[in-house]
Amino acid sequence: MSLPIEEIKNNTAKARELMTRATAEHFAVGAFNLDNQDTLKAVARAAVAKNSPVLVEVSQGEVDAIGLDNIRDVVDNYKQELGLEVYINLDHSPTVEACKAAIDAGFEFIHIDISQANKGASEDEIIAKTKEVVEYAKTTGALVESEPHYFGGSSNVHEEKIDFEEIKKTFSTPEGAKAFVDVTGIDTFAVAIGNLHGSYPVPKILDLALLSRVRAAINCNISLHGGSGTPGHYFRNAAVIGVTKININSDMRIAYRKTLEKVLKENPKEFAVVKLMDEVIGAVQDVVEDKIDMFGSAGKARP
């Protein structure tokens, strides 16, 4: 069921206020991927346990599987039942049309990512389509996020090591970040400083000195994608520098699958799988709680 426009605007105003608080108090809000109701339940329980604001996010695959309005409804059900400060982020949306649909559905955060869907997209195309989403988002006040070029990796388990020299070629620059923010009017800049989507056999290394220079160059929010597999001290320092949103997906998926495989193996004659899910949900909840502690958002919720 679609939300009334005034309720949507009230939600987006609260989302903006949260980002202002995160900036002023030097904490980051976790954006945790929602694969299904189990992962949503894990995030919700972690948010309650830590009294933390959270974002739940879906990319196009989850939108296709669940539906925009269904996502909005189920998140709102948990929000009302548990008294959560929770918002929805559309992550890596490949088209302007998909972004507009999520804005209409009342999503508070919108990430338009033309380069992820089309790695050969020109800078002019990325800017033009990002500006179109920024303009449309004014109807509800939704916060729009984007970046000027392709962001590496994928939300999966990678066996190859990280080629840091190759990745450095895609790093953000203070000058490039400022130019992109100024021309598009986005609310959130997705920075590239060594962060990669997915889990790798070696830890990720973030260039925090570069992050500081980017932070000094722009006055909007900064998000950090590819948070899975990143040592915790990078998160703590990034939040102090000024990152206000950190995306987590692969770490949750790994915990979910490995624990599900374990309980299925231990219970070969149980076909009511729902009876086995408490341990799985608990494993994902542990991941989320751990990230919340790293991000410094525990105790920061204002439902």
Q: How far apart are CA 190 and CA 206, in angstroms?
A: 14
Residues in the chain: 303
Looking up tokens 């929000």, which residue turns up? 79
Q: How far apart are CA 126 and CA 112, in angstroms?
A: 9
Q: What is the DSSP string of 187-235?
A: SEEEE-SS--EEE-SS-----HHHHHHHHHH--SEEEE---TT--HHHH
- Is residue 64 part of the annotated active site? The answer reads no
One-letter amino acid at 290 equals: D
Q: How far apart are CA 295 and CA 272, in angstroms?
A: 36
Which residue of the set 91, 104, 113, 187 is catalytic?
Answer: 91
275: CB partners within 8 A, 6+ apart: none
Cβ neighbour number for residue 299 with a 10 Å cutoff:
10
CA distances from 162 to 44, 123, 196, 200 (A): 33, 26, 9, 7
Closest CA to 155 of 63, 280, 277, 58: 58
The answer to whether 57 touches 34, Cβ cutoff 8 Å, is: yes
Query: Which of the residues are catalytic?
Result: 91
